Amino acid sequence: MVTLGCARNEVDSEELAARLESAGWQLGDDDPDVIVVNTCGFIESAKKDSIDTLLAAADSGAKVVAAGCMAERYGAELADALPEAAAVISFDDYTDIGGRLDDVLAGRPLKPHTPRDRRTLLPISPVERVNGSAHIPGHGALPAGLAPASGPRTLRKRLSGGPVASLKLASGCDRRCTFCAIPAFRGAYVSRQPDDLVAEAAWLAEQGVRELVLVSENSTSYGKDLGDLRALEKLLPRLAGVDGIDRVRVSYLQPAELRPGLLDVIAATEGVAPYFDLSFQHASGPVLRRMRRFGDPQRFLDLLAQVRERAPEAGVRSNFIVGFPGETEAQFAELADFLTEARLDVIGVFGYSDEDGTEAASFDGKLDPDEVEQRVAALTELAEELTAQRAEERIGTELEVLIEEDLGDGGYEGRAAHQGPEVDGAVTVQGIGLLPGQIVRAVAVDSEGVDLIARIKAGS
């Protein structure tokens, strides 16, 4: 199983792994019969990476199956363009993934699907309950090592160790951003039930997880389809109270939907990281309107002020699209000025490119690709300077660091509450006898870019 893309894909792979194991398949790296590549289809570079990975997998001699977002998005078109793949499967194939791989191994051809707009489709419950036990349709009780009957609604098997794991709040998205194709192939927003999430959190804790990272296409929409706009506010304290879970982190927050009550819960609940992954995408009001989003520099700065009033050391990150159709030099400068004032911990910069099936692909005012590239380079350079300065501001502050890896020679790598996994930098802690999964109090003594160097606080 090879996973590309975001944390949501990682959870999808763990759900597929559970179904495969229940169906009698064994996951391993040594001389596989089949390689399943869980692809990403979000932007052009991700699609290229997916194709390269599929071709490399085919060179191994194993049968290759394309799954995930790119496979769902292009279906038969991808199958025609990539004969090296033995099969291209849809999300609809996931509930019987074992059977699909049985067909692939036996050489029975699988007809690739014709993609359709999934926003009009109803979700299918992937797990049945039989006499109080979890079953996959067509299979018996779960083998040892998978989430138990009291666990998640969707079956899951951890594919990696470590004290951090993602917990998927929902699937799909109801927003209609003009640059994004995700709602069309992921479908409408469907929240998972709070009790299922708490049960999965307890199961993850039993597997050694100490930090939960809540993921979805838009976490601030959680509970809307359940009829409760305060569902996430109520869920976070429950998750933080799960025995064995020390930290809960929320990702993918929409600024326009970050209500004061939710802001308060994230900023002030013990066990919930004061961490705000805010999807700004731009700062210029006119550009945001063309994106079918809301906000402007002052509104965003006011929101950041509210965050820091409640939690002065909160971590804040965001991503920005540069070169959107019609973006003027003045609007680009407005974005740069906003970043200078915003004092974000992490800034992701992406150049605009047309995505199939999106409204923006038909917009006038497309910028020359060279101009987009120049603006990306300029904003990236500014972002690196600004985030390094923000890290320097944290020197001398006390950090709660979750230890993730022993680096040897008295050094340990971990993350503070203001740092999300993989993309937000890390903290190197100098100490003795620390263990992965342990949270220690340390003082930042130096910085390198967005990374910090810290020493264990005396007496901790």
pLDDT (tens digit, 9 = 90+) per residue, 306-357?
Answer: 999 999 999 999 999 999 999 999 999 999 999 999 999 999 999 999 988 8
Q: How far is Cα 333 from Cα 321, in angstroms, rounded to an integer?
A: 13
> Do 346 and 451 fall into the same domain?
no
Residue 120: inside a domain: no
> Do 239 and 254 fall into the same domain?
yes
> Do 445 and 349 fall into the same domain?
no
> Do 103 and 172 fall into the same domain?
no
Residue-level pLDDT at 296: 97
The two structure tokens encoding residue 14: 């763990």
100 annotated as belonging to a binding site for a ligand: no
Q: In what order do the strands lie in the sheet with 211-215?
A: 164-168, 211-215, 247-250
Q: Which domain holds residue 414?
A: 397-456
Q: How far is Cα 420 from Cα 433, in angstroms, rounded to an integer?
A: 24
The two structure tokens encoding residue 327: 């973006």
267 annotated as belonging to a binding site for a ligand: no
Count the Cβ atoms, other than its own, within 10 Å of residue 37.
Answer: 26
284 annotated as belonging to a binding site for a ligand: no
Q: What is the residue type of 413?
A: E
> Do 202 and 69 fall into the same domain?
no
Residue 52: inside a domain: yes
Question: Mean pLDDT over residues 253-261, rounded?
Answer: 95
The two structure tokens encoding residue 418: 């203001």
Instruction: Provide the strand spans (E) within 1-123.
Output: 2-3, 34-39, 63-67, 87-88
> Do 14 and 137 fall into the same domain?
no
> Do 433 and 326 fall into the same domain?
no
> Do 347 and 413 fall into the same domain?
no
Q: What is the residue type of 305?
A: A
As for how many domains the chain has, the answer is: 3
> Do 317 and 348 fall into the same domain?
yes
- Among 374, 393, 412, identify where a domain stops: 393
Terminal alpha carbon distance of the chain: 41
Answer yes or no: are the C-beta atoms of 248 and 236 closer than 8 Å: yes
Question: Mean pLDDT over residues 64-88, rounded?
Answer: 92
Pairing mode of beta strands 346-351, 315-322: parallel
Helix 231-240 × helix 194-206 angle, to 10°? 20
- Among 393, 412, 433, identify where a domain stops: 393
180 annotated as belonging to a binding site for a ligand: yes
Tens digit of each residue's pLDDT (9 = 90 or more) over 110-149: 998 988 887 766 444 444 333 333 443 433 455 556 665 5
Tens digit of each residue's pLDDT (9 = 90 or more) over 172-181: 898 999 999 8
